[in-house]
Structure formats: structure tokens, C-alpha cells
Amino acid sequence: MAEVQVKDSSGKGGKVRSQKQPPHVDLTPMVDLAFLLITFFMLVTTFNKPNVMDLGLPAKPKDPQQQPDTEIDLSNSISLIIGKDNRIFYHQVAAADLNEQTLQETSFDREGITKVIEQAKARAKDQTKFTVIIKPTDDAVYKNFVDILDEMAITKNEIYGITDVKSNEQAVYEKKVGATSAPAAPAADTN
Amino acid sequence: MARVKPKRHNIRVDMTAMTDVSFLLLTFFILTAQFNVPDVETVTTPSSISEKLLPDASLMTVLSTTDGKFYFTPVDNGTERMQLLDKMGEKYGLKFTNQEKVEFTKVQSVGVPMNQLKGYLNLSEEDKKAFKSQTGVPLDSTNKQLIDWVQQSLAVNPGYKLAIKGDVETKYPKVKALFEGLRDIDFLKFWLITSQEVAQ
């Protein structure tokens, strides 16, 4: 194995020497170190991969006139409007009934938006068709958008759409944002 | 008759074999470890519950920073990068020298408009490192260079995948412009890079 071969040099007048034990090295610390490094490299190689979430976009219709005008039953859908300062609003009413009272505000957490979506889904006439319509305003940031997509994954909503805010919704949203926390002059773009 | 007791000597395990194995594994891991190259600009990705890991497959990355600049990282494969540069050169009427092509295979990502690309490729290594783009790759309604990069990459090899790494604070209109541009070229499936949700 790994013992060092010590030659019996039986010369020099034939003195009787005590048999020398071959020296042995304690390898335990070296093995410890090696395993420590192995563990480190194993962890590093598996954890430096970031997570990803899938996003599929709908194809653009070749002819803008041919947009299918799908009318969704109001109870089967919920519109989420993502606003500034991480605020989120939702409503389930027709365009004509939308005002500052019907556009409600919630928060980006389990108690807020998750509950809202789940309750709306439970109330839906046809749960298989329950659609979440995501409408980020121009004040939204990327994080809000990803949070909402994440929320879709949490609430297991397969059907959701991402569209622009309609002008009447924009108007109500601006009123509401202005009414609740009259912000100072809109922050100028720092670009 | 008393039995002859075998002479006791303390047990010593020979660790040589174990050391061999562990160092073999160690060398393997050290050699296969790929160290993360830091991004051109620091980007904090939003968190999600997704547990899917980013695949290794030929991947292009679009980095969008806090102030809405875009960087495009082409795939790693050198020859395919050269083809990509040729195609982009054709499209924008630029000729690249061999020297510049070789440089392009080494760059980490593209963060300059096409008209500045030549200048950027001819910078020295240190200058490249210190280079901070004022504009990033342009993307607006008239100048869709970022989308062109993606499109030309796909023309080189349709199998490429795209990952988008956006900063938490990126303004949504910027992201929307990117999505719309990708829809324009009918490239509809891609990944958003997120970080693991921290338990609350």
C-alpha cells in the first residue's frame, strides 16, 4: 500500500538494529480539507444558476381589424391595474360602472392580492374560464410585473392576459391615486 | 490451556485511497466550476416562486438596467458570434475587420449602438472594462437595434433561447417596448430571470 519501503541495509559490521517501523503520515486532516473543498465546489456549481420563469406572449394579429372581440363575463374575469409606488388596484365591473368606489386597492402580498384573486375565482360563474387581465400602467416597474406573474403561478391561474390600460381606467386610476395620497408634482424622469 | 491471544495493535485505517478519491473529485469540481462573470451593471432581479433553473443551452441574455438601458449578451459560441456580427454589419452597412471579429467573440456583452460598436471593439481590455455605456443598445419605435440583435441571432441559429434579466426598478414602459418588439419578430417564448423567493 502506501508504506515507504525501508531497505534492510545489513552491512556495516552487522550491528543489531531494532527494526524501524516505517513512518506513517496521518492523512485525516488532508482528507478533511479535501472534502471541505469538494463540498464548497459542489454547492457553488449548483447554486449559481438563477431561477427563471416562463413567459409566453400572444402572437400579434397580422391584421389589426381581425382582433377577435371576446366578451368575457364580468364575474369570470378580474382586472388588475398596477400603478405607481408598488400600488395595485382591481375591479370587476363594466367600463361604464368604473369609478373611484368600484376600483379597489389591495397590496402585493398573501393577504392582499392572493386573497382577492382566489375569492374572485371562487365567485366566478365558470371557473375554468376565469381570466385575470393584467394592466400595468406606465408608472409600474418591472418588479410589479414579475410579482403579478408570480402571483398567477401561486394562484395557479393558467389564463391571464397582459394588456394596456384603457383610457377610462387610466382616468379613474389617476383620480384615485391623486385623491388618496395627493403626491407632489409628478417626479421628473431622471434620465 | 490458555488460548494464545493474538497480539493487539491499535487499528489504523489506511486513508490513502480515500484521499485519492476525494482529490479526484475535487479536481473534477474545480475544473468544471464555471465562475459567474459579474454583469456589466449590477442588476437586482425580482423574486419569484419559480424553481426552474436557467438551462445551459445556447442562450442570449438581455439585461435591462434601472435607468432603462439595455445590454445584449450574444451566445457564447465564437463562430456563431462572428456570423452574427457579419449579419448585423450587413444590415447596418458596416464592415468589420478580422481583428474586430476576434474581439467580438471575447466581449461580454454589447451595450453600444451599432455606430459606436467598431470603436468599442477597438478599445483596449482595460478601457473595455471601465467603459460605461451612456445609452445601452437603442430600442425605441424607430430604432430597434436590440430587437435586430435578437433577430439576427435567431437567423444564425433558430434554436437560441432568450433570457431577460431586468432590474427591480426598471420602468414598465421600457419592458413593454421590449416585449412588443419581440412580438413583432414573432419570438414569443422566453424566460425572465428571477431570484429565489425568500421565505417570509
Please tell me if residue A188 touches chain B, with a CB cutoff of 8 Å.
no
pLDDT exceeds 50 at position A188: no
| Res. A164: pLDDT tops 70 | yes
Looking at residue A72, its pLDDT comes to 61
Name the minimum distance, in Å, from the CA of B191 to any CA of chain A: 5
Residues of chain B contacting A35 with CB distance shorter than 8 Å = 22
Strand duo A88-91 + A77-82: pairing? antiparallel
Q: How confident is the model at residue A3 (pLDDT cuts 50, 70, 90)?
A: low
Is the pLDDT confidence value at A186 over 50? no
* pLDDT digits 0-9 by tens, B100-137: 888 888 787 888 887 788 788 888 777 777 777 777 77
To the nearest whole Å, the CA of A133 is away from the closest chain B CA by 16
Angle at A29 between CA A24 and CA A35, to 5 degrees: 125
pLDDT for B37 = 67
* Each residue's pLDDT tens digit, A59-117: 777 665 555 556 666 777 888 888 888 788 888 877 677 777 777 787 777 778 888 88
SS3 at position B195? strand
Query: Which residue is listed with cell 366578451?
Result: A71
Q: How far is B186 from chain A (nearest CA, A)?
A: 6
Residues contacting B151, CB < 8 A, separation 6+: B185, B187
| Ramachandran angles phi, psi of A88, nearest 5° | -135, 135
A44 touches B at CB < 8 Å: yes
pTM of the model: 0.69
Mean pLDDT of A144-151: 84
pLDDT tier, A185 (very low <50, low <70, confident <90, very high otherwise):
very low
pLDDT tens for the 200 residues of chain B, in order:
667 777 776 777 777 888 888 889 888 888 887 766 666 777 777 877 777 777 777 788 888 888 878 888 888 777 888 888 888 888 888 788 888 888 888 787 888 887 788 788 888 777 777 777 777 777 777 778 888 888 888 888 888 888 888 888 888 888 888 888 888 888 888 888 888 766 54
pLDDT higher than threshold 70 for residue A189: no
